[in-house]
Amino acid sequence: MPKSSSPTPSATSSVDKAAVSQRIPVVQIATPSTKIHVREQKGVFQRLRQHSNTLLIAIFFLIPFINYQGRQAILFDVTEQQFFFFNITLWPQDFTVLAWFFMAAAFALFFVTVYWGRVWCGFLCPQTAWTFIYMWVEAKVEGNHHHRAALDKAPWSLSKVRKRVTKHAVWIVFALLTGCGFIGYFMPARELYVDIFSMSSGFWTGTWVWFFAVCTYLNAGWMREMMCLHCCPYSRFQAVMFDANTKTVSYDATRGESRGPRKRSQTTELGDCVDCNLCVDVCPTGIDIRNGLQYECINCGACVDACNQTMEKFGYAPNLISFTSENALKGQPKTSLLSLKSLGYASALLIMIVLIISDLSHLSHIQLNVIRDRQTLYRQVGIDQVENSYQLKIRNKTQQMAFYQISISNDDPQKQTLQIVTDSLIAIKPAEQLDYPLTLSGRLSDRTSDSTQQTVQFKVTQIQSLDNPTPTEPANEISQTSRFFWP
């Protein structure tokens, strides 16, 4: 499909009527310095977008305030290198689960794109949500799009200064809240908000909060559509996932052309498009959807609501601009619902889900590392006794106090010649790593071979309590092999 540069919202005054009547597209160039004053629009899709954006923002801010068993339910603790997700604790070695999760989310997005195009960008993307929030504040303070455009051209006055200061003050406060909301996923959120707004936070905490606040302020307040047009990688490759049945915001040129203005009661041979230019005025990226599919379109549906509003006023059928597919516009029947692309993305998504479930089901709640005493291979005690020393690093990866029993074994339990000299029952606090010294002892008279080395397996098993060494259900244990040296 043809693509063109993004037109400016002032396209009505610059459209060549002769070119329109001849169905010649008028290409209009929007420079980066052009500010788009988006016209406010109401309608079905805008209500859906507002509700989805509100839900997204509410979830973003509220999740860090959810507690679970006395702890923030979802927390990336960078200092302790832990990720808490309700009753699951992930450590750096478990982060493959997060990798599978993000890959699954990507394939889920690709799968939806095959059927509904860039609908993510219009209804769920954080960039869209925050941009529309900032645009809503701007409209409440400075007025509608006509008033905002006039205010830009007006000379500086007390009224203009007041409006601009008010707008940017609200923007900065919301940006600061956003910075707190984001950092609240990496440190306790309740203390964070108090520290930031009471100006008692530490240097690095305040630095990171203000860094993300400044990014939000510049991104949603100033860059806006430039992020979608020039920075977002998804906008560049999303069209590769489209096929003839993908539903995108499209203009029915067969029905709409030749376009042109007319009175409501006037009989005309023109198409249904009355050339009101509302579809351009309400577009947050400033494009004219009548020029065909363009990568700048974020599928927010604002032009659909605007066009349907005009069609209703003129007594025409709705959906001159609508969410539809290329085949539907051509009047061709829909092909198979499952294409090779959708099957491929669905298969990849299923594989990622299986990997996530598999990793979570095999997630160990104990971490064990056995380190031998490297300075002394063995100690001979008396005539018949030999001892080896070890350092066991045992980590309790759960969020509760846990009790463990340490045991040893070799390939033939009937010929077990080694014994643990130190205490084998231990308690470890939540998320704590215990460095536990342990000594093994063996009798030379019980030695089963002439080899100077013997393989020994250390096993750590979670038990009910120190007074009740019964293994927990389901069993939770881990083991690691090492060597015992004889003279």
| Sequential pLDDT tens for the chain (487 residues) | 333 333 333 333 333 433 333 333 333 334 445 788 999 999 999 999 999 999 999 999 999 999 988 889 999 988 878 888 888 888 888 888 889 999 999 999 999 999 898 889 999 999 999 999 999 999 999 999 999 999 999 999 999 999 999 999 999 999 999 999 999 999 999 999 999 999 999 999 999 999 999 999 999 999 998 998 888 888 888 878 888 889 999 999 999 999 999 988 888 889 999 999 999 999 999 999 999 888 889 999 999 999 999 999 999 999 999 999 988 888 887 666 778 888 999 999 999 999 999 888 888 888 899 999 888 888 988 888 899 999 999 988 888 889 999 998 865 555 667 888 888 899 998 888 899 999 999 888 877 777 788 888 999 999 988 888 888 877 788 899 998 888 8
* Tally of domains within the chain: 2
Domain boundary among 240, 256, 277: 240
Tokens of 474: 């389901």
* pLDDT number for residue 370: 93
Tokens of 246: 């993908």
Q: Is residue 19 part of a domain?
A: no
Domain boundary among 240, 263, 288: 240
* pLDDT number for residue 118: 87
Whole-angstrom distance, CA of residue 464 vs CA of residue 405: 10
Cβ–Cβ contacts within 10 Å for residue 363, how many? 14
Q: Is residue 416 part of a domain?
A: yes
Q: Kindly list the strands in the beta sheet with 402-409, ordered across the sheet, starting from the edge strand earlier in the chain.
A: 425-428, 402-409, 453-463, 477-485
Whole-angstrom distance, CA of residue 484 vs CA of residue 372: 9
Q: Is residue 340 part of a domain?
A: no
Tell me the pLDDT tens digit for each residue of 62-75.
999 999 888 899 99
* pLDDT number for residue 472: 84
Q: Is residue 338 part of a domain?
A: no
Q: Is residue 23 part of a domain?
A: no
Rounded to two decimals, the pTM is 0.79
Where are the extended beta strands (E) located within 209-311?
Answer: 248-251
405 three-class SS: strand
393 three-class SS: strand
Q: Tell me the residue range of the domain where 162 lies.
A: 35-240
Whole-angstrom distance, CA of residue 47 vs CA of residue 12: 27
- CB 438, CB 484: distance < 8 Å: no
* pLDDT number for residue 241: 87
Q: Is residue 134 part of a domain?
A: yes
Q: Is residue 69 part of a domain?
A: yes
CATH code, domain carrying 413: 2.60.40.10
Q: Is residue 224 part of a domain?
A: yes
Whole-angstrom distance, CA of residue 163 vs CA of residue 144: 13
- CB 183, CB 196: distance < 8 Å: no
Domain boundary among 221, 240, 259: 240
- What's the per-residue H, E or C state across 301-366? CHHHHHHHHHHHHHCCCCCCEEEECHHHHCCCCCCCCCCHHHHHHHHHHHHHHHHHHHHHHCCCCE
